[in-house]
A and B are shown apart, each in its own frame.
Chain A
């Protein structure tokens, strides 16, 4: 590279060095000798890779513990090669890791399951704030307007379908007790939400998972109530609404 190379070209060369660590791509620097040159360039290339591997380890501590540091770090480095960061905050580096695992560690789909759970947990932690509605807000809705009632969920509410015991591992990590081995299990539905800055999770019965999915789509009460199984769907719907309000999941009630 000559002295007249414009800045974009120079930064392209440096970027390729960071991403590929191929000495044929290395920028021209001042150095005492070849060893000194390699050493100085390596500080940046190694720093880039291992800093972000460490970030992923912090974002996915349960997955890292489950896999072991060695295997996790190899997968994390491969992920970074495939999906370099595009967001100015390092908080988002791991956003595509669960999907990447599903595709590239496909011999072990439970890894992606656990990663999705851990990522959702982070999303819940710093999702937008909103004032929850109370039971009194629901009682203020005239009965004849209930069929048209739309429920707005708190921005920190997340629903998740799992086919593993990932929650058991997360629970063991949170309670600092020995973790079970990550294994495949029949499909279950889970709810994650935030209360007093703490992230909570619980398993959803099938009918509640269906109702929450409908609410999240914007369906009105009449639409999802009739799809509830059992002999008293209205009573079941009312009890679900009461629980959601008690847990602070609801931030809006509208009949317009």
Chain B
């Protein structure tokens, strides 16, 4: 799969509609949360059309339930396909997780048992989704707070096996790697080394918070600026994966657009430095 997405993007949020349309924002593309636009009409779809006229769009979903044991939701795939025909996304992505069981939607990115059976299950469903959408699928590594007692694969092995068996792309969420490395006690840079390099199609950057209950766990809250540790890991990532389209996700405590654009400039600078280092090497 090739991608025609290039440069540095932002997750589109309604708080920034006016600023994006009014100005000449230094942003190369926008990522939408697909579920926010699975509506019939009104302002959301009108705004989406205006954004898609000006910027390339990536579609990022949270309800595909690619690792679930319920059958794939054909109605969901149908409306997702309808949205894709409307915005002609450069990338369609979701998460390596499950979100629904016995018809109940949990609206959370729930952890999968990491073993060969799950790899086969997820890979088979990826092929079904790609057939239904007639598009390649890209999947994101999720933050997690537990591992199952009988997991036989670690996360890097699990993701690599899914990519190898299905041919899907990876959306590398650097913040999620940082959070998981802390929560599960592994080395984040080594984790990056173990991912299949050619599979990484897109990078997410975000902030996190410390569990307010005092557990010491890091929680993937997307409610704060990208912290130094995640920036450092991003620099390691671009040294390994090259000029992968990168973006900032912010879902809570959303600041003015200029603040996010300033953060995006940090990503640009780090990527440029990594490119210079690669050339020098």
A, B assembled together: yes
A residues in contact (CB < 8 Å) with B = 2-3, 6-8, 10-12, 14-15, 18-19, 27-31, 39-44, 46-48, 51-52, 55, 84-91, 93, 125-130, 155-156, 194, 197
Stretch at the interface among B133-141, B143-151, B235-243: B143-151
- CB neighbours of A127 from chain B (8 A): 40-42
User: Residue A84 contacts which of B104, B147, B219 (CB distance < 8 angstroms)?
Assistant: B104
With contacts A7-B121, A8-B69, A43-B211 taken as known, whether A89 is within 8 angstroms of B146 at the C-beta atoms is no
Interface string of B107-129 (1 = CB under 8 A from A): 11010010001100100000000
Q: Give the number of A-B contacts (CB < 8 Å).
A: 131
Query: Closest residue of chain A to B40, judged by CB?
Result: A128
User: Residue A11 contacts which of B98, B147, B211, B219 (CB distance < 8 angstroms)?
Assistant: B98
B68 at the interface (CB under 8 A from A): yes
Query: Closest residue of chain B to A125, judged by CB?
Result: B42
- Bound together, the chains give a CA A37 to CA B216 distance in angstroms of 13
Could you jot down 12 A-B contacts, CB within 8 Å? A3-B150, A7-B118, A8-B69, A11-B69, A12-B102, A28-B148, A30-B151, A39-B215, A40-B217, A46-B213, A48-B107, A128-B41
User: Residue B145 contacts which of A15, A40, A125 (CB distance < 8 angstroms)?
Assistant: A40
With contacts A12-B101, A126-B40 taken as known, whether A30 is within 8 angstroms of B106 at the C-beta atoms is no
B76 at the interface (CB under 8 A from A): yes
Chain A: minimal CB distance from B109 (Å): 10
With contacts A28-B148, A40-B217 taken as known, whether A7 is within 8 angstroms of B39 at the C-beta atoms is no
Whether the pair A29, B149 counts as a contact (CB closer than 8 A) is yes
Whether the pair B43, A126 counts as a contact (CB closer than 8 A) is yes
Whether the pair B41, A126 counts as a contact (CB closer than 8 A) is yes
B186 at the interface (CB under 8 A from A): no
B63 at the interface (CB under 8 A from A): yes
Chain B: minimal CB distance from A152 (Å): 15
B73 at the interface (CB under 8 A from A): yes
- CB neighbours of B256 from chain A (8 A): none
